[in-house]
Structure 1
Amino acid sequence: MSRHKRFPWFFSALLLLICFTGFVLLDTFVVPKTYSAIATNTTTEATSATESIEEASSEAAEAVITENSYQDDTMSITISTEQAADTTYYVADVQVESSDQLKTAFAEGTYGRNIKETTSSMAAANQAVLAINGDYYGFRDTGYVLRNGSLYRDTPEEDTDALVVDGDGNFSIVNQSEVSAETLLEEGASQVLSFGPALVEDGEIAVTSDEEVSQSMSSNPRSAIGQIGENHYIVIVSDGRTDESVGLSLYQLAEIFESKGATVAYNLDGGGSSTMVFNGQVVNTPVAGAKGDSGSERSVSDIIYF
């Protein structure tokens, strides 16, 4: 075959490859897709959306609210701004009357791929007093996703810690290679988040000084949640990647949780995702990009809120 006859076939094949690659990238990272829960714990008592809104409105009317605190008959939240390792971080001490007040939510109220909202938007939609970004489940195809008593994804992230919140609101850490999501649901888990690693277990630091998430830098903006006691939680979000705040390592973050009395603490998605919202206001300084350019919130898949 002559050179002139080969060229049309070559360019046709190249065009087909480009189109296919573009389709795959769009399908993976852009096109929204929704999915349904694959199993639900029928013993979990879920409050209806209408009741939740009515309760939240009633409590908000009676609440005593300041710039850094919230107090009503069922919930107390105090936020402090602290410094360590050339980093500013924000600590929310949360005590609730019922474990049902610790909840999670999906962007646009929907589980799926490429469905994202800012943490503040999700917080507003769910009338959250305090909210932080979750595990950004939509960025991965593996890792258990069990939220508010419903199981959405049972594909494990091998050898990765998951945070389990049981029906009484108590935290525990499991290795996804050792227990199935279906088993966790049957045992009464109300939430399972998959990012990690565990920072504190049984009141002791569970990470080493050189441990990190994948290829992340050792100093980063961080988001994490822990439990101190029955219905008593601690949420920490740190700034990072800026001249004012370097960021924390996992070990430094674990040290803070340990010093605050956490019995269990778990690392969530960090970096540009790290966001704390209190009474409708973003508390921390989110960053855009690896170099720490100050920017607006990153849109993420999910939140944890009270």
Structure 2
Amino acid sequence: MKRWFKKKMAVVSIFILLLIGADSYVLLKAFVLPQAETVIASNQIASESTTTDETTETTEPVITETSYSDENIQLTIDEQVVNNTTAYVVDIQVSDPSYLKTALAQNTYGRNIKEATSTIAEENKAILAINGDFYGFRSSGYVLRNGNLYRESGVDGQEDLVIDENGDLSIIDEGEISAQELLDSGVQQVLSFGPALIENSEIVVDTATEVGQSMSSNPRTAIGQISENHYVLVVSDGRTDESEGLSLYQLAEVFQQVGATTAYNLDGGGSTTLYFNGQVINTPVGGQGSSERSVSDIVYFGYE
């Protein structure tokens, strides 16, 4: 009887260990282990910037600490203090919409694949970059990048930023149009975070609007459009003694003041990073000290 009991307990112990191991593997797979996935469909467009020599860079750029200018890309970074917060307002004009690009960490789509914004930017020779929507933090929300569709599971009511083949920005609801329909229409980028800040030149958030489970004043990353091939980025510090952080409404006000017709909030908080000419310009709070948080993707301007 005693021997039978010991044998039974051994079997139970092995079963428990196997169960714990299985659960641990599931958790590791979901949150730690990198897992590459494949493209569902593609509509990559061969733009003038990659098919001819007419729009490629032919002169040495003029670069300062706060500006860049060549024949195709001109940008300036204006550091401001807004609501007790350091904000960087980047005005960017390009000759062709293909110079507005996105990139994935390790140039790979999948679970738990992350790098610092500056690392992804350097790997893609970005002139200027910001963190994207951190698609890897969520299991739903459209992921369409550079004409490649990676994820088509949507959420009714989720506002996404769409960048079409002409480089124009617009806002869609995932419940009203499928990712495949967007791809078929020629859309090149879809970023799923939000909310929308500006539509038709009007602020579309109120003072109570906030990202779920977030404080009202935060580091922020957002992108907007002023006119054809004319964009504006706003990156603000926050959660420090020097910078309080902005609410979504305050962020929208900055875009409205510079004349944005459309603007959209990207992942902020510890992910917020502005990279320019080989350096991180803002003060990230995502890692230890002022180090960057690793993210799954970036939005950038550049030639590659």
Q: 1:138 offset after TM fit, Å?
A: 1.0
User: If the length of structure 1 is used for normalisation, what is the TM-score?
Assistant: 0.91
How has the CA–CA distance of structure 1 residues 34 and 46 changed in structure 2, closer, same or farther, with 3 Å as cutoff? farther
Residue 172 (structure 1) aligned with residue 170 (structure 2): yes
In the aligned structure 2, how far is the partner of 1:51 from the partner of 1:114?
37
| Matching residue of 1:78 | 76
Q: Secondary structure at the match of 1:247?
A: coil
In the aligned structure 2, how far is the partner of 1:200 from the partner of 1:162?
13
Contact preservation (8 Å) 2:49, 2:98: no
| Matching residue of 1:22 | 24
Moved more, 275-284 or 12-21: 12-21
Q: 1:37 offset after TM fit, Å?
A: 1.2
How has the CA–CA distance of structure 1 residues 35 and 46 changed in structure 2, closer, same or farther, with 3 Å as cutoff? farther
In the aligned structure 2, how far is the partner of 1:126 from the partner of 1:46?
18
Q: 1:18 offset after TM fit, Å?
A: 2.3
| Matching residue of 2:189 | 191
In the aligned structure 1, how far is the partner of 2:51 from the partner of 2:115?
22
Query: What letter is aligned with 2:125?
Result: Q
Q: Give the CA RMSD over aligned residues.
A: 2.2
Q: Secondary structure at the match of 2:209?
A: coil
Runs of 4+ in 1 over 2 A off after TM superposition: 4-18, 46-52
In the aligned structure 1, how far is the partner of 2:48 from the partner of 2:16?
55
Q: 1:157 offset after TM fit, Å?
A: 2.8
In the aligned structure 1, how far is the partner of 2:166 from the partner of 2:51?
23
Q: 1:46 offset after TM fit, Å?
A: 5.1
How has the CA–CA distance of structure 1 residues 156 and 283 changed in structure 2, closer, same or farther, with 3 Å as cutoff? same
| Matching residue of 2:46 | 45
In the aligned structure 2, how far is the partner of 1:208 from the partner of 1:107?
33
Q: Secondary structure at the match of 2:251?
A: helix
Equivalent residues in 2 for 1:220-235 (5 A)?
220-235=218-233
| Matching residue of 2:35 | 33
Choose the corresponding residue for 1:305, options 276, 300, 304: 300
Q: Percent identity?
A: 57
Contact preservation (8 Å) 1:285, 1:294: no
User: If the length of structure 2 is used for normalisation, what is the TM-score?
Assistant: 0.92
How has the CA–CA distance of structure 1 residues 287 and 66 changed in structure 2, closer, same or farther, with 3 Å as cutoff? same
Structure 2: any 5+ residue segments left out of the alignment?
none
Query: What letter is aligned with 2:120?
Result: M
Contact preservation (8 Å) 1:107, 1:122: yes
- Equivalent residue pairs, number: 298
Post-superposition Cα deviations, 1:183-210, rounded to whole Å, max 9, x if no partner, equal 0111110111100110111101111111
Q: Secondary structure at the match of 1:143?
A: coil
Choose the corresponding residue for 1:295, options 281, 284, 290: 290
Query: What letter is aligned with 1:296?
Result: S
Q: 1:296 offset after TM fit, Å?
A: 0.9
Contact preservation (8 Å) 1:221, 1:272: yes
Q: 1:158 offset after TM fit, Å?
A: 2.8
Query: What letter is aligned with 1:34?
Result: A
| Matching residue of 1:159 | 157
Query: What letter is aligned with 2:132?
Result: G
In the aligned structure 1, how far is the partner of 2:29 from the partner of 2:37?
15
Q: 1:176 offset after TM fit, Å?
A: 0.4
